[in-house]
Structure 1
Amino acid sequence: MSRINTNVSSLISQRIYNNQNKSLSTSLERLSTGLRINGGGDDPAGLIASENLRSEKAAIGAAISNAERADQVVNVAEGGLQEINSLLTEVQSLVSQTANEAGLSAEEKEANQQQVDAILQTIDRISSTTTFQGTKLLNGKFDFQIESLDAKVQDYNINAAKIGDSALEVKAAITQSAQHAGVFLSLDTANLVLDDTPAEPFTIEIGGSLGARRFSFASGTAITDVAKQINNFKESLGVSADVSGTGISLKSTEYGSDQFVSVDVIDDAGQDGGVYTLDATNENEATGAGTDYDAVSSPIRDDGQDVGGTINGSKARGKGLVLDIKSDALDLNATLTAGGATAIGSIDLFKVSGGGAKFNLGPEIDANNQVRLGISDVSARKLGTTLDGTKKLSLSDLGGAGTLNLIDGDLGQAQDVVNSAIKDVSALRGRLGSFQKNVIGSTINSLGVALENVSAAESAIRDTDFASETAALTRSQILVQAASNVLAISKAQPQQALQLLG
């Protein structure tokens, strides 16, 4: 059938030609942009999914940058602490040199004290000038702030804590009391009465966590003098002696399971009485069954006991008077007073109201992805704090005007303070190193894997498959050419009507 007014074949050819041109344009767009989805019309559901994945990629990338920045902050703090450690080692050497009194002149002591003063000033300067983009790192700015400190808390150290909108209450439940190691020497009379003939001294060997020593006492020696002689070696034994009635109580100088007191009777010399261990739950009471002096065939030993309990419901590790807890929500240790650690019961230790260096190490901004790292003040007045009775000493007391100066101060106590300061700085460096390795390092590795997987998922949805699209382009090009030729033929069909009119 031949018509002139309406060329149906041409219309069909135009439609197909336009469709093939559209397919060709789509392939060209995808190949030129590298994206399969260039607009919502290409794949509405795929567009939504890919945009969500792009958002996740951006958040993960930012989290990786945050973790790397946190690592840089810790590196700066570590640099300052490393130098402080070196300075403390130098102070330790100067204290030991000055203790050699007979071999040092007064001028040399003065020179050593001047060096210590200069070192203390340098430590304070490092503490106040170690900064990251103007933010001071070692002056206590990132230490945790507490309130409502209980009197039973002697000292504390907060390494990390998750704090919400309100202060974090820290409560302890003491389930096991801290105890000294100890034994009781029953002597029955105020003076030693030795019945051996010929007269031999009453000889015992006392051992403690720091060493052991043999003591000999003649008949008639007052038990107060026995205790004094033992106490003369308290620092080398780790054992102190106290008169209790007509006996002597020997106790370790410190609390805890690593403390012990042992007594071996070398020669009882006819002395009446015996050796008793102390009660496991009350160190002020002797156990009912003792051993007579003449029946002691091997050392009688008693061990100390660590405090035990929980902090905020989680089991805490006890060491002497110290309760220590490490969890995702809380990392701290609290040193209790003797009264607090030896009494079973509950203690409201303190409240953590704020502070800590806050880092967001995850793609989401929530408590699970945020960590707070406590960086304490490392100035001289804060390092090496120890108790001398009720007085708190620190590294600053080694200064020229301090009670532990090298000229006329207590050098033994000065060394204890320096040792404590070295432990403080070393512990802080170790904690920062652990944070770098186990928190930041692991986080960066984990986020890197997550970024790879999310990128792969987004690529599978949105990116162009060049092999497939190139084949589609070739097909579209051929079909466009074919449609163009067919359109030309369809336009020629009406010419056949002229032959009918010829």
Structure 2
Amino acid sequence: MSLVINHNLMAMNAARNLGSIYSDLSTSTQRLSSGLRVNSAADDAAGLAIRELMRSDIRVLNQGIRNASDGISMIQTAEGAMGVIDEKLIRMKELAEQASTGTYTTAQREIMNSEYQAMAAEIDRIANATDFNGVKLLDGSMQYGHEGSGLKVHFGTGNESAEDYYFINIGDMRATEATGLRVGNSDDRDTLRTLTFNATSPADALSESASSTDGLFGIRYSTDFDNENPGNATWNVYGYVDIDASRDSIDDIVADINKGAQASGTITMTALSGGGSATDDISTQSLTVNGQVFSFATGSGVGTYNGGSGTGTVNLTTTSYSATSVAWDTAAFLNANSASIGVHAVADGATVHLFANEWGEEGNSINTVSASTAMSTGAATLENGGDKQMTASAYYDEVNEEYELQIQMNVGGETHQVQIFNLTTMNGTSDIVGGVISGTSMGGTWGGVLPTNDAPTSVLTDYGSADETDEWIQAQNGAGETNWAGADILTQTAAQEALSGVDAAINKKDTARAALGALQNRLENTITNLQIQAENLQAAESRISDVDVATEMTTFTKNNILAQAATAMLAQANSLPRLALQLLGG
């Protein structure tokens, strides 16, 4: 090699080797300091991809272990409460045995029954109060999850029922519910159960059952009912159920009613004239409902409605223009177009009562637009939407093997009653489910009679008549009875029947409790399996990702020595051009 000044090739070679060695030394330092063989995709592209998938599975498996542990905790909470329920049932059976012998008087059995009912009420309280993280465990609500399968405990990395989750379905452990244990009779809420609406499944459209006609029926309640003077009760309409049999099911009806009452309001009419002063001339009057403006005119039929512009004309079918006739004609028009306008209307004399079609909402605005005295409103908007005086449910009738509509008052006592009623007459006798209220406008008290020219038919008429004995069930409410063994122990016969009733309740509870125990064992085994799976997957991930410290330390030491040697050689190579100076200096 020639001796040159411009290019020190030996120094350049030493510098290149030093850079390469220094890069390797940096990689070894990073691996040893992080503990990872793969710190970036450049280290091992395929290994990085596999490692990240493994890491996600490991995290999911560990969360699945926690999910399964939570499931065990929930089961233990439910089973603990069921253990207390067991104590109450045993005491109830003991009381039933005591009352079943003839050596006690009726008065003494009443004392025993008082404790018996108190035990049933306590079982109800425990079942209603027991929850885990806000999830009710024993009130029967769990069985409605996932289309009747129950509560899902998920623990796998996928979504296959055979591998990744279990369902927990405890059932109804309440004592005095027909869907529960059926012992005791402490529930004093008035209950209406109608055979008229029934289906093999609560989710089936009503058109799939024996009766399938569209229509309308009303629900009302009283808070001052008197069994001795039922005609003096004050009734409040809760709302109107509009049935589309090809679409609606019992579940749909239940969901609507449980949103709360339909909002309501009133419009009071005075007489109008065919022409005259601005205060009562029909040509000057208009009514706004839900932002839609309607005028008045004479004519046949209910009038015309333009859904596109939200306008229409109410036809007044008589020339007398009395306040009552104006009210009836207005109600008929609103009902004929209720789906678009958003209200049902009920005429009672000169007053029109409006109900929002939607359940549980505040409703629609009611305004008189012109400065007149021909119409007055009770409020600017419909009020009291969402009040929850009652609860609806789909009741399973084991005898008939069908689901039926059940409506129950949320407040107990004989004065709180619930009824559903037909809408077949105007100014005449109206059929009330649970009894008949006779006279004009339902006994002189407003109860919700729609005009006969209302577009919807009465669904109860089409579905069949209602019978008080079969339909109106008043649990512990004076006239009612609970038709299961174990309702009370007031007589020797009832006490003897209660022995078998409590036995059935204990068997139902024990079956559910045993199922929970078996499921707890499965979850414990699942946790063990998930732990092993996570451990082995972690080991596989470690082999890909973690650094072998012994091997990497050997590499680090080698690279460290080479770096020192390269540094020394670079220093020597940098000094070699000085030889040229010696030649130049002669």
Match of 2:506 in 1: 422
The reply to whether residue 373 of structure 1 matches residue 168 of structure 2 is: yes
Superposition pairs of residues 291-302 of structure 1, within 5 angstroms: none
Superposed displacement of residue 445, structure 1: 0.9
Show CA shifts across 1:231-257 (max 9, x none): xxxxxxxxxxxxxxxxxxxxxxxxxxx
Superposed displacement of residue 106, structure 1: 4.4
Amino acid at match of 1:16: N
CA spacing shift, 1:72–1:390, aligned 2, 3 Å: closer
Q: Do 2:173 and 2:181's aligned partners in 1 also have CA atoms closer than 8 Å? A: no
Work out the CA distance in 1 between the residues paired with 2:399 and 2:73: 41
Work out the CA distance in 1 between the residues paired with 2:518 and 2:551: 50
Match of 1:358 in 2: 152
Superposed displacement of residue 431, structure 1: 0.1
Amino acid at match of 2:545: R
Q: Do 1:138 and 1:376's aligned partners in 2 also have CA atoms closer than 8 Å? A: yes
Superposed displacement of residue 367, structure 1: 3.4
Match of 2:116 in 1: 116
CA spacing shift, 1:454–1:497, aligned 2, 3 Å: same
The reply to whether residue 50 of structure 1 matches residue 51 of structure 2 is: yes
- SS of structure 2 residue aligned to 1:359: strand
The reply to whether residue 130 of structure 1 matches residue 214 of structure 2 is: no
TM-score by structure 1 length? 0.54
Q: Any gaps of 5 or more consecutive residues in structure 1?
A: 146-162, 164-352
Q: Do 2:18 and 2:567's aligned partners in 1 also have CA atoms closer than 8 Å? A: yes
Superposed displacement of residue 415, structure 1: 0.4
Work out the CA distance in 1 between the residues paired with 2:545 and 2:57: 15
- SS of structure 2 residue aligned to 1:2: coil
Match of 2:61 in 1: 60
Superposed displacement of residue 385, structure 1: 5.5
Work out the CA distance in 2 between the residues paired with 1:50 and 1:416: 62
Work out the CA distance in 2 between the residues paired with 1:135 and 1:2: 89
CA spacing shift, 1:117–1:391, aligned 2, 3 Å: farther
- SS of structure 2 residue aligned to 1:464: coil
The reply to whether residue 457 of structure 1 matches residue 540 of structure 2 is: yes
Structure with the bigger percentage of strand: 1
| Larger RCO, structures 1/2 (Cα 8 Å, 6+ apart) | 1
Work out the CA distance in 2 between the residues paired with 1:98 and 1:411: 6
CA spacing shift, 1:97–1:354, aligned 2, 3 Å: closer
Superposed displacement of residue 105, structure 1: 4.6
Work out the CA distance in 1 between the residues paired with 2:519 and 2:567: 69
Work out the CA distance in 2 between the residues paired with 1:391 and 1:127: 27
The reply to whether residue 500 of structure 1 matches residue 294 of structure 2 is: no
Q: Do 2:97 and 2:496's aligned partners in 1 also have CA atoms closer than 8 Å? A: no
Superposed displacement of residue 498, structure 1: 2.1
CA spacing shift, 1:358–1:3, aligned 2, 3 Å: same
Q: Do 2:64 and 2:155's aligned partners in 1 also have CA atoms closer than 8 Å? A: yes
Match of 2:31 in 1: 30
Show CA shifts across 1:272-314 (max 9, x none): xxxxxxxxxxxxxxxxxxxxxxxxxxxxxxxxxxxxxxxxxxx
Show CA shifts across 1:60-100 (max 9, x none): 12211221121122122112111111110111111112223
Q: Any gaps of 5 or more consecutive residues in structure 2?
A: 184-397, 402-474
- SS of structure 2 residue aligned to 1:27: helix
Superposed displacement of residue 24, structure 1: 1.2
- SS of structure 2 residue aligned to 1:367: coil
Q: Do 1:144 and 1:356's aligned partners in 2 also have CA atoms closer than 8 Å? A: yes
- The alignment-based identity, stated in percent, is 32
Quote the RMSD (CA, aligned, Å): 2.6
Amino acid at match of 1:49: I
TM-score by structure 2 length? 0.46
Give the number of equivalent residue pairs: 288
CA spacing shift, 1:367–1:383, aligned 2, 3 Å: closer
- SS of structure 2 residue aligned to 1:473: helix
Work out the CA distance in 2 between the residues paired with 1:474 and 1:108: 96
Superposed displacement of residue 411, structure 1: 2.5
Match of 2:72 in 1: 71
Amino acid at match of 2:137: L
Amino acid at match of 2:168: L
- SS of structure 1 residue aligned to 2:141: coil
Superposition pairs of residues 254-403 of structure 1, within 5 angstroms: 353-368=147-162, 369-380=164-175, 381=177, 382-384=179-181
Match of 1:207 in 2: none
Q: Do 2:81 and 2:126's aligned partners in 1 also have CA atoms closer than 8 Å? A: yes
- SS of structure 2 residue aligned to 1:372: strand
Q: Do 2:17 and 2:566's aligned partners in 1 also have CA atoms closer than 8 Å? A: yes
CA spacing shift, 1:48–1:391, aligned 2, 3 Å: closer
Superposed displacement of residue 109, structure 1: 2.3
Work out the CA distance in 1 between the residues paired with 2:121 and 2:81: 14
- SS of structure 2 residue aligned to 1:83: helix
Q: Do 1:383 and 1:420's aligned partners in 2 also have CA atoms closer than 8 Å? A: no
